[in-house]
Amino acid sequence: MSSSTSPQESVRRQNLGALLRYIHVRGATSRAELTSRLGLNRSTIGALTADLATAGLVDEGVPHETGRAGRPSIVVRPRSSRVYGYALSLELDRLRAARVGLGGKVLDGRTAERPPGPDPAPTIAALAGFVADMQRTAPTDAVLVGSGLAVSTSVRHHLGWADETIESELAHGLAALRPRLGPSAGPFLGGIADLAALAEHTRGAATGADNVIYLHGDAGISAGIIAGGRRITGYGGHGGEVGHMVVNPSGRLCGCGSRGCWETEIGERALLHLAGRPVPTPGAAVTAAVHAARSGDPDASAAVAHAADWLGFGVANLVNIFNPTVVVFGGTLRELYLTGADHVHNRLFTMALPACRAHVALHTPQLGDDAPLVGAAELAFESLLSDPLFAGRP
Ligand SMILES: [Zn+2]
């Protein structure tokens, strides 16, 4: 924002951002609700929505039948099919991409196995290929506002790829989009659990909660932490590495060099090892092992009981430290929690402080497997939502 911006103009831009953000998060909203929720008068709301409508970001119309008498308040909706971002997810064994409309609506998607090998180039090329493919079928008058990428911490640890490398390679891979994007349009990177936490906090199982922990399981375990309504990512974005919290000093060696890390007790390799199952495609194998446990397979049942017990052990510690009101179990931990919930609750009941455990609810992701992608899209939209009409777009 330039220093010559008048105070009135500055307030208008803030109000435009607040209004568009409200619509983006809540979906179609009546002008009457906007007036009361944003604390602005009716004529101001009318002027702001007119500006956003002229810019093609929202549209206005009569609501669906409410059954109530009287003239209905005009409803403002995000133009999800016209305004969109790209959301990407880089996991150890698979790549995903989605075109996500304003309002968090997934419009198109692609998924594939991650190309094998230690070189990031084929992976980045595959992600860029997904985007190019979806771009071809996007409406020609639609507006691209940014891109975000969720990176599994397992990629950082097992492949040793630095975020900076991934970020610059991806920016290069998406260079063809550059003419359509402004300078502040990304790609922006975030941890997979961190972005899934953001998504569930914004529009999923943790909506309205200001203290949230999202636990993501794949080859490793990571946490997305929201405390006091703010994402806690640490100095270099590596906060939330709860998988390397030492819970069992006499446990197994961890890939990080330490011993008895949480992920050596509840990670997918640990679970499959205990269940006596090979590890060809871990994600699917974990689901199969958990299903076998539900059907009474004794080895699988013992493995699930062991891992769920340790899951509760770590969750109790996190609940004591962060006092969240919502804990969400995503990735492979979703299946583990659903099958071993009794073990998790037992540990929580015996280990967490009463004041901390009394207010915590345990959930699976309301956005399901899409949570990391929807969170990556939030990064893509951030610049637009901060300053809707002047967000550095060309
Ligand atoms: Zn470790």
Q: List per-residue pLDDT tens for the chain, 394 residues long.
A: 445 678 898 999 999 999 999 999 999 999 999 999 999 999 999 999 999 999 999 999 887 765 666 677 789 999 999 999 999 999 988 999 999 999 999 999 999 999 988 899 999 999 999 999 999 999 988 999 999 999 998 888 888 888 888 888 888 888 877 666 665 677 899 999 999 999 999 999 999 999 999 999 988 899 999 999 999 998 888 888 999 999 999 999 998 899 999 999 998 888 888 888 876 666 678 888 889 999 999 999 999 999 999 999 999 999 999 999 999 999 999 999 999 999 999 999 999 999 999 999 999 999 999 999 999 999 999 999 999 987 655 4
Q: 145 CA to middle of ligand 1, Å?
A: 38
CA 313 to ligand 1 centroid distance, Å: 16
**How far, in Å, from the CA of 285 to the mean position of ligand 1?**
22
Buried-state track 344-376, b at ≥16 Cβ within 10 A, e below 16: bbebbeebbeeebbeebebbbbebeebbbbbbb
Distance 97 CA to ligand 1 centre (A): 29
How many Å lie between the centroid of ligand 1 and the Cα of residue 235?
20
Cα(248) to ligand 1 centroid in Å equals 11
For residue 104, give Cα distances in angstroms to 6, 20, 27, 42. Answer: 33, 13, 9, 27
Quote the ligand 1 centre to 194 CA distance (angstroms): 19
Task: State the pTM of this model.
Answer: 0.92
242 CA to centre of ligand 1 in angstroms: 9
Q: What separation in Å is there between the alpha carbon of 108 and the centre of ligand 1? A: 36
Report CA(201)–ligand 1 centroid distance (Å).
27
Quote the pLDDT of residue 182.
Answer: 62
- Whole-angstrom distance, CA of residue 107 vs CA of residue 134: 10
Residues facing residue 163 across a β-bridge: none
> What CA–CA distance (Å, rounded) separates 5 from 208?
34
* Ligand 1 center from residue 348 Cα (angstroms): 23
Phi, psi of 217 (to 5 degrees): -115, 130
Centre of ligand 1 from the C-alpha of residue 346, in Å: 25
What was the pLDDT predicted at 114? 93
Q: What integer pLDDT is reported at residue 345 of this predicted model? A: 97
d(CA 243, ligand 1 centre) in Å:
6
DSSP 8-state code for residue 144: E
Distance 241 CA to ligand 1 centre (A): 9
* H or E element, residue 192: helix 192-203
Contact status, residue 151 vs residue 118, Cβ threshold 8 Å: no
What single letter denotes the amino acid at residue 208?
G
CA 220-199-263 angle, 5° bins? 15
What is the per-residue pLDDT for 394? 45
State in Å: Cα 227 to ligand 1 middle.
Answer: 24
The rounded Å distance from CA 281 to ligand 1 centre is 21
Give 365 Cα–ligand 1 centroid separation in angstroms: 25
How remote is the CA of residue 151 from the centroid of ligand 1, in Å?
18
**For residue 238, how far is its CA from the centre of ligand 1 (angstroms)?**
14
Residue 175 CA, ligand 1 centroid: distance in Å? 36
Residue pair 80/74 in contact (Cβ under 8 Å)? The answer is no
